Amino acid sequence: MPKVCIHYIVSGWVQGVWYRSAAQQEAKKLKLTGWVKNTDNGNVEVLACGEQQQITQFEKWLWQGPKLARIKSVISKKLPWQELEDFIIIY
């Protein structure tokens, strides 16, 4: 299975609804590495690295998010593979 890294910008009602924490839980469940953080303009930025099948599942989850989230868009960009240790929340 090919390994990929995808950078995401998630917009909508995504801050103050536990989006980062829920994304971290989902990523760890799918055995992905990377990070998630809030941006100054109200979006959430994500880097996810792993096998393509798990990345695809994670991207579907990003469109749903936690219960209180309201997703407007998920913009993705493929990046070169990065060997990361864990999936962390950047504060």
- Residues belonging to the active site: 20, 38
Query: In b/e form, how buried is each residue of 54-85, taking b as 16+ CB within 10 angstroms?
Result: bbebbeebbeebbeebebeebeeeeeeeeebe
What's the rounded Cα separation, in Å, for the pair 91 and 81? Answer: 23
What's the rounded Cα separation, in Å, for the pair 77 and 10? Answer: 12
**Spacing of C-alpha 4 from chain mean position:** 13
